[in-house]
């Protein structure tokens, strides 16, 4: 038996005709970088999200970096980030020459909003909440804190396409949002891709300029930017997949509900979804003191699992110079030794979910 952690081929087979036709069209028109498909996808995604402006780019990390540049973050500045995320969230701050300031997580695995204010200094410019695993961070109090201290809020939505708070999609609540379309994300391209979304026309214009070598028009370079354009093939694939995303999200949620029923008696902590929030289950993460043993047993019977993530960000080697105080990140430290991501993707078969659950109880 072999149950994969994620199987992108099953997804492709569901929509093969649409995808093949879309890709063939890009090749026929030689629309490889930028162009019609990218403009169309920006339009489609903005409409789906309910955002005024969407700017496509090369990957999710670039989208965070370019937004930070657009917000004017640079050396001497501090930006608040959660202690648990993919490295990009903190890395984008550090590579701007600014300092990531880490805040512990709570039992939803997102930033603990009660610990943010203690970390604000005169150098703080903004906050990057991450909707980790597909669970929305608690945005209303974050927006209130940001308003009080005149900070920007950049939502890292890389794992949370379609997640909501009180019926409002994440990515439309903060001042701007970054999205990744890495193949394994809930909405994934056939390679690296990403975008920003914002209601701020000035921020959108700056990012668009930065992403295309600082050119508001051809051969006029107002600033030094970079190359972070989206490829036509990715845009074409993303527009096709976007039409199916809501259905796939509901399928993920159904599978998560099945797991919660099947694992009710299991000796492990299941994901929590606060009542006002819609979790889109990019990952299904359980917690157990016996994590390593459980993982080994699943692996023996052919079930693939993963750990997101094994090390809290402040304890990574690259942040050694910030002299992190371990006691400030106690939840992140405790949880990273206990968390286990078990397979969840729209095409996971209920029969496979049963087998996985039986191994866990």
Ligand X SMILES: *Cc1c(COP(=O)(O)O)cnc(C)c1O
The residues of the shown chain that bind ligand X, judged by CB under 6 A, are 59-61, 85-86, 88-89, 130, 156, 158-159, 180, 182, 192, 194
SS (H, E, C) the chain: CCECCCCHHHHHHHCHHHHHHHHHHHHHCCCCECCHHHHHHHHHHHHHHCCCEEEEECCHHHHHHHHHHHCCCCCCCEEEEECCCCCHHHHHHHCCCCEEEEECECCCCCECHHHCHHHCCCCEEEECCECHHHCCCCHHHHHHHHHHHCCEEEEECCCCCCCEECCEECCCCCCEEEEECCCCCCCCCCCCCEEEEECCHHHHHHHHHHHECCCCECCECCCCCCECCCEHHHHHHHHHHHHHHHHHHHHHHHHHHHHHHHCCCCCCECCCCCCCEECCCCCEEEECCCHHHHHHHHHHCCECCECCCCCCHHHCHHHHHHCCCHHHHHHHHHHHCCEEEECCCCCCCHHHHHHHHHHHC
- Nearest-angstrom CA–CA distance, 92 and 234: 23
**Cβ nearer to ligand X, comparing 170 with 360:** 170
**Cβ nearer to ligand X, comparing 83 with 130:** 130
**Cβ nearer to ligand X, comparing 90 with 146:** 90
- What's the min distance (Å) between Cβ of 91 and ligand X? 9
Q: Which residue is nearest to ligand X (CB)?
A: 60
**Cβ nearer to ligand X, comparing 115 with 308:** 308
Distances (CA, A) of 231 to 65, 191, 194, 227, 338: 19, 9, 10, 11, 39
**Cβ nearer to ligand X, comparing 159 with 305:** 159
- What's the min distance (Å) between Cβ of 227 and ligand X? 15
- What's the min distance (Å) between Cβ of 59 and ligand X? 4
Planar angle of CA 319, 325, 329, nearest 5 degrees:
90
- What's the min distance (Å) between Cβ of 60 and ligand X? 2
- What's the min distance (Å) between Cβ of 130 and ligand X? 5
- What's the min distance (Å) between Cβ of 176 and ligand X? 14
**Cβ nearer to ligand X, comparing 180 with 239:** 180
**Cβ nearer to ligand X, comparing 227 with 297:** 227
- What's the min distance (Å) between Cβ of 131 and ligand X? 8
**Cβ nearer to ligand X, comparing 62 with 352:** 62
- What's the min distance (Å) between Cβ of 309 and ligand X? 9
């Amino acid at each position: 038996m072999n149950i994969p952690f994620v199987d992108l081929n099953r997804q492709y087979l569901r929509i093969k005709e649409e995808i093949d036709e879309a890709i063939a069209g890009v090749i026929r028109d030689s629309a490889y970088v930028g162009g019609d498909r990218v403009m169309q996808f920006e339009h489609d995604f903005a409409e789906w999200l309910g955002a005024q402006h969407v700017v496509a780019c090369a990957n999710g990390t670039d989208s965070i970096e370019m937004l930070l540049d657009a917000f004017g973050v640079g050396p001497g500045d501090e930006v608040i980030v959660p202690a648990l995320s993919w490295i990009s969230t903190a890395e984008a701050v550090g590579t701007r020459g600014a300092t990531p300031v880490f805040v512990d997580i709570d039992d939803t695995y997102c930033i603990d909003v009660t610990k943010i204010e203690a970390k604000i200094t005169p150098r703080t410019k903004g906050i990057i909440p991450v909707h980790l695993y597909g669970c929305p961070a608690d945005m209303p109090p974050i927006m209130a804190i940001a308003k009080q201290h005149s900070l920007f809020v950049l939502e890292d939505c890389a794992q949370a396409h379609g997640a909501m708070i009180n019926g409002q999609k994440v990515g439309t609540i903060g001042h701007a949002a970054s999205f990744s379309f890495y193949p394994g994300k809930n909405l994934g391209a056939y390679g690296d891709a990403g975008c920003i979304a914002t209601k701020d026309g000035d921020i959108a214009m700056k990012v668009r300029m930065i992403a295309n070598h600082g050119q508001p028009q051809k051969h006029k370079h107002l600033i030094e930017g970079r190359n972070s354009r989206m490829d036509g093939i990715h845009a074409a694939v993303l527009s096709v997949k976007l039409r199916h995303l809501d259905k796939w999200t509901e399928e993920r949620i159904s599978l998560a509900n099945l797991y919660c029923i099947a694992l009710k008696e299991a000796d492990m902590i299941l994901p929590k979804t606060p009542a006002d929030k819609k979790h889109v289950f990019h990952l299904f993460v359980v917690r157990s003191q016996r994590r390593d043993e459980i993982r080994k047993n699943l692996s023996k019977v052919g079930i693939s699992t993963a750990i997101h993530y094994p090390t809290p960000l402040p304890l990574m080697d690259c942040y050694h110079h910030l002299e992190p105080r371990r006691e400030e990140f106690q939840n992140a430290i405790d949880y990273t030794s206990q968390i286990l991501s078990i397979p969840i993707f729209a095409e996971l078969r209920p029969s496979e979910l049963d087998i996985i659950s039986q191994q866990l109880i």
